[in-house]
C-alpha cells in the first residue's frame, strides 16, 4: 500500500477498532476512529479519507444508512466489516454502494489484501473508447440527434474492461470525453458534471453510468451491459454479486444508481428530461 493514506474506521466495538487501528496503521495509513454512525459521518466529511471501514450494527443509526449518506457526498472506497455473513446482507451492502465486504473475525492479512485490492481499482471509468478503425471518435447518428459532443483535447485512450456484448472493439484512437444534453454537461477528463451551470455531486459510479449513457445517446443500453461496463461484477465467497445470485435480478444495482441519479438531476421517470427507461430493454437519453 502507499504511505500517507487516510482511513476512517466506523465500528461500535472498541476491540475491533483497536485491531483495525493497529493493522492499518502498520500498513502506512493515518487512522481515525469513530464508534457511532454520526461521528463516523463527521470524520468522513472532515478527513476526506481514501478508505472507510464500516460496521453494519451501530448504536445510533444503521450501517446501511451511514453508507447511503456517505455516498451522497463522497466516492471513497468503503469496506463493510461485519458479523453478518448472509448473502442478503452482502448484496444489500453492494447495492448501497460498498466496494467490498468482509465478515468478522478480522484476519489482518486478509484485511490488508482487501484494502490494497480496493485501492488498486481505478476511480475513473475504465471502459475503452467506442471508436471505429479509421475515424475520429465514433458518434452515431442517434448520438448526434441527442447528446452533443463537446470539442476538447482528447487524452490517451483508455484500456480496461472489454466493451459489452454487441459493441465494436476499441482501437488506439482518441475518444470523445465531454457531452452536453438538455443543459446537462459532463466532462470525463476532469470528472465534472454540471446542470444549468450548477455542479452535481455524483458518486464515481453515478458519474460513470451517466457518461456511458451520454456516449450512447439515444441508443439503448441494457442493465446487463451497464453492470459489465461499470465493473459491478464482484465475487464474494464464490458468489457473483451483481449477477444472478440466488435468483436475484442482476439489474437491481443499476436501478438503484439510476434512481439516485434521477433524484440528483430532479428528473421525473414518468416525464423524463434526461434519463429514459425503455421497458424490458434498458436505459437511454430522453
Within this chain, do residues 146 and 267 fall inside the same structural domain, yes or no?
Answer: yes
Same domain, 146 and 191: yes
The verdict on 92 and 191 lying in the same domain is: no
Residues 146 and 90 in one domain: no
Cβ(84)–Cβ(56) below 8 Å: yes
CA-based nearest residue to 212, from 173, 244, 153, 164? 164
181 is a domain residue: yes
Which residue positions in the chain have pLDDT lower than 70?
Answer: 1-4, 121-176, 232-251
**131 in any annotated domain:** no
CATH code of the domain covering residue 83: 3.40.50.2300
Q: Cα–Cα distance between 130 and 163 in angstroms, integer?
A: 8
Q: Are residues 211 and 250 in the same domain?
A: yes
**Which of these three, 52, 85, 120, is where a domain ends?**
120
Do 196 and 267 lie in one domain? The reply is: yes
pLDDT digits (tens, 9 = 90+) for 111-127: 998 888 888 765 543 33
pLDDT of residue 147: 58
Query: In this structure, are 82 and 212 located in the same domain?
Result: no
Q: Which domain does 49 fall in, by range?
A: 5-120
> Is 37 part of a structural domain of the chain?
yes
Per the structure block, which three cell numbers stand in for 78?
Answer: 468503503
The grid coordinates of residue 261 equal 441519479
Does some domain include residue 132?
Answer: no
- Indicate whether 134 belongs to any domain: no
State the SS3 of 102-135. Answer: EECCCCHHHHHHHHHHHHHCCCCCCCCCCECCCC
Is there a domain that residue 129 lies in? Answer: no
Instruction: Provide the pLDDT for residue 176.
Output: 56
In a domain, 127, yes or no: no
Q: Where residue 265 sits, what CATH number does that domain have?
A: 1.10.10.10
> Are both 73 and 37 inside the same structural domain?
yes
Q: Are residues 166 and 265 part of one domain?
A: yes
Contact 20, 29 (CB under 8 A): no
Radius of gyration for the alpha carbons in the chain, expressed in angstroms and rounded:
20
Looking at the fold, whether 104 and 203 belong to one and the same domain comes out as no
Q: Give the number of domains in the chain.
A: 2
Same domain, 13 and 111: yes
Confirm whether pTM is higher than 0.85: no
- 161 and 278 share a domain? yes
Residue 126 belongs to a domain: no
Helix (H) or strand (E) holding 259: helix 252-265
Amino acid at each position: 500500500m502507499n504511505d500517507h493514506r487516510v482511513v476512517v474506521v466506523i465500528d461500535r466495538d472498541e476491540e475491533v477498532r483497536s485491531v483495525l487501528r493497529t493493522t492499518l496503521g502498520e500498513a502506512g495509513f493515518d487512522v481515525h476512529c469513530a464508534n457511532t454512525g454520526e461521528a463516523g459521518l463527521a470524520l468522513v466529511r472532515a478527513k476526506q479519507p481514501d478508505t472507510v471501514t464500516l460496521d453494519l450494527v451501530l448504536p445510533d443509526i444503521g450501517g446501511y444508512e451511514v453508507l447511503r449518506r456517505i455516498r451522497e457526498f463522497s466516492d471513497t472506497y468503503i469496506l463493510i466489516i461485519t458479523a453478518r455473513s448472509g448473502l442478503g446482507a452482502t448484496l444489500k451492502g453492494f447495492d448501497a454502494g460498498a466496494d467490498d465486504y468482509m465478515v468478522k473475525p478480522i484476519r489482518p492479512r486478509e484485511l490488508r489484501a482487501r484494502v490494497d485490492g480496493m485501492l488498486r481499482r481505478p476511480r475513473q471509468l475504465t471502459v475503452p473508447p467506442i471508436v471505429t478503425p479509421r475515424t475520429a471518435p465514433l458518434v452515431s447518428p442517434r448520438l448526434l440527434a441527442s447528446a452533443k459532443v463537446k470539442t476538447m483535447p482528447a487524452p490517451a485512450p483508455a484500456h480496461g474492461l472489454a466493451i459489452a456484448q454487441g459493441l465494436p472493439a476499441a482501437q488506439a484512437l482518441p475518444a470523445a470525453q465531454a457531452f452536453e444534453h438538455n443543459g446537462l454537461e459532463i466532462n470525463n477528463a476532469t470528472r465534472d458534471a454540471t446542470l444549468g451551470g450548477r455542479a452535481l455531486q455524483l458518486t464515481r459510479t453515478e458519474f460513470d453510468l451517466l457518461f456511458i449513457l451520454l456516449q450512447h445517446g439515444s441508443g439503448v443500453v441494457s442493465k446487463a451491459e451497464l453492470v459489465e461496463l461499470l465493473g459491478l461484477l464482484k465475487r464474494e465467497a464464490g458468489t457473483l454479486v451483481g449477477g444472478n445470485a440466488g435468483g436475484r435480478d442482476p439489474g437491481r444495482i443499476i436501478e438503484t444508481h439510476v434512481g439516485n441519479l434521477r433524484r440528483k438531476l430532479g428528473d421525473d421517470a414518468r416525464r423524463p428530461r434526461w434519463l429514459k427507461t425503455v421497458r424490458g430493454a434498458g436505459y437511454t437519453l430522453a
